[in-house]
Structure 1
Amino acid sequence: MKTAGKFPLLHPYKTGGRIRITVVALFLLFTFTFLLSFIATRDAAAARSPLPDPISDALLYYASANATPTMSPAEIDSVFSVLRRCSAPCNLLVFGLTHESLLWNSLNLGGRTVFVDEYPFSVTRFEERHPSVEAYDVRFTTKVRDLRTLIEEFKREVGGECRPVQNMLYSDCRLAVNDLPNYMYDVGWDVIVIDGPSGYSPETPGRMASIFSAGVMARTRGGDGGGGTHVFVHEMMREVESVCTDLFLCRENLVETVDMLGHFVVGKMGGGGRKHSFGFCYTIPSSSSLTTEFI
């Protein structure tokens, strides 16, 4: 009786065995190639997916920038460590547009980051180049050379217009930054970085108003205060920064100093303020320049 012819590739003799091995090898090769192609296609599709604007802006900027950083790596890490620990998206306020601005905007991805600078042209150009950035220009009317006069005025008005708990939008204190958009005075700022105005000469705007305003914002913030507002002040070795942090942020609130960066945590205050001579601090400022010149 005739039997059905067997398919040559499945023939039981030795030749058929070699052919079966060849078929299996070709099948495995095809499968492996298909898997590699699938993985490569998937990865390419992922690579083509757009990055968030703050991240892509920062990557492009720092890849081509030829500028000297304002802060040291250790100073940047000090700020980042606080942003990273935020239990909710951080509200970050930065005084000064600097080399690190896009870095702050990207490190606080998902939170709210607002920049304040003294130069309208710089703000306009920065926003045009980086549409994802929110920035405002502020006219600082005080100069570095006004420091002693401003401190004397502050001492007379610490219980009045320059008190630590107030609505700065309506303040007549010369140290108050009161021309920001209205909503900014209602935001509970988790982190405030002060790296502006420049304050590099007697005729330039100093950081007296930035530091004073940060102190008031921290003490009057809405909500439960979140354990205090982290305030970072850069270039702490300069007279204005040293004296004003003593007066408005207070040595008792100093957490650490990293290179030229001071890190303060300032708690919320009640409406009545503290009942002592300086209002802002529990202890009288100990700065030598302040002791000899202002008390």
Structure 2
Amino acid sequence: MPPQEPSSHQPNSLFLYILPQKSSLKLTTIRTKSSLKMNLTKRKLILLLVFVLVGASLLRVLKITISTSYFPTSEMDQNTGNHPSPAYGNKILSEKELQFLSDIVLQKSPCNLLVFGLEDQYLKLPFINKGGSTVFLEDKPEKLIKMNGNVDGTRVFRIRYKTSAKEAYKLLKHARTHPSCSLRSGIRMLTSKCKIALNGFPKEVLKTKWDIIVVDGPGGDGPDSPGRMGAIYMAGVLARAGNNGTNVVVHDVDRTIEKWFSWEFLSEKNLVSSKGKFWNFRIAQKQKLGSLTS
């Protein structure tokens, strides 16, 4: 008979039998904890990614809000269905815009040049138009001192605007229906009955036959600002009384008022070129005025 294993070895056999079960349980527990950690890590990464995307979107919206000013919806926008464009507080022409305007002046220089608004970048226009006559019309007193030491043939006049941009649509309806506002009436027929016409113009401005008229004033960056309704209307009247083929150059045509009043009083069919926020119209003195928008 084979010798029997001592009884003292039996516990060891039991230990060897139980040990693999304990190791398996421990390994399963480790794997479960590892899986939970991985799931939690994935969730954290997803949440972090969501927060980053939301934060980036909020920063983008905030940047746009700060860089553009809000122009409340006016009666004009409600009636036309157009959304007002953001207004730009700082008047800075791009290089292409400035070159565009300079080229127009150079083509006719020396000439009679009338400018609504006195911005820093326009101080070079009298030098481009040297030998001609350059007149600025400005409503803000602090800007008038910019022309000290100006070149010969340059004048600056202060004018006052009694309208506000929020009245734009009412003024447009008035001009369309009131006979005294008809462009066919001419300068001599301008009266106080036409609410959009600008009063108190210097006689020198009214009597001169202008070759180029630039409209970049007064301010139009808010509902309580003067708006350029009257300036564009007067540019249309003066251009039709000026030299044959008067150029009217309007800035900020991305805004509702500038766009609609230019179409109304300068006529889209007279638009000959554009660059950036500039529209350049050429108005023929003897063109047949079949309607207000001619």
TM range (shorter): 0.5 to 0.7
Q: Which runs of 5+ in 2 are unaligned?
A: 1-89
Larger fraction in helix: 2
The alignment partner of 2:163 has SS state of coil
In the other structure, the counterpart of 1:116 is 137
In the other structure, the counterpart of 2:183 is 163
Q: Aligned runs of 1:11-160 on 2, under 5 Å?
A: 70-86=92-108, 89-123=110-144, 125-128=145-148, 130=150, 133-157=154-178, 159-160=179-180
In the other structure, the counterpart of 1:206 is 227
The separation in 2 between residues aligned to 1:99 and 1:84, in whole angstroms, is 19
The alignment partner of 1:160 has SS state of helix
The separation in 1 between residues aligned to 2:209 and 2:134, in whole angstroms, is 12
TM-score under structure 2 length normalisation:
0.64
In the other structure, the counterpart of 1:238 is 255
The separation in 2 between residues aligned to 1:203 and 1:251, in whole angstroms, is 28
The separation in 2 between residues aligned to 1:200 and 1:251, in whole angstroms, is 24
Amino acid at match of 1:166: G
Do the aligned partners of 2:181 and 2:196 also contact (CA within 8 Å) in 1?
A: no
Do the aligned partners of 1:119 and 1:137 also contact (CA within 8 Å) in 2?
A: yes
- The percent of aligned pairs where both chains have the same amino acid is 29
The separation in 2 between residues aligned to 1:215 and 1:235, in whole angstroms, is 17
2:271 to 228, 243, 254: 254
TM-score under structure 1 length normalisation:
0.64
* Cα displacement (A) at 1:233: 0.5
Matched positions, count: 203
Amino acid at match of 2:98: I
In the other structure, the counterpart of 1:274 is 289
CA deviations over 1:144-188 (Å, ceiling 9, x no partner): 10011101111111x334434422684222222231211211111
Bigger Rg, structure 1 or 2: 2
The alignment partner of 1:152 has SS state of helix
CA deviations over 1:101-139 (Å, ceiling 9, x no partner): 21111111111000001113422x224464754111111
1:194 to 212, 215, 222: 215
The alignment partner of 1:178 has SS state of coil
In the other structure, the counterpart of 1:55 is none
1:170/1:259 CA distance change after superposition, 3 Å: closer
Amino acid at match of 1:126: K
The alignment partner of 2:157 has SS state of strand
Do the aligned partners of 1:164 and 1:280 also contact (CA within 8 Å) in 2?
A: no
Amino acid at match of 1:264: F
1:229 to 238, 242, 246: 246
1:239/1:151 CA distance change after superposition, 3 Å: same
Q: Which runs of 5+ in 1 are unaligned?
A: 1-67, 282-295
Amino acid at match of 1:212: Y
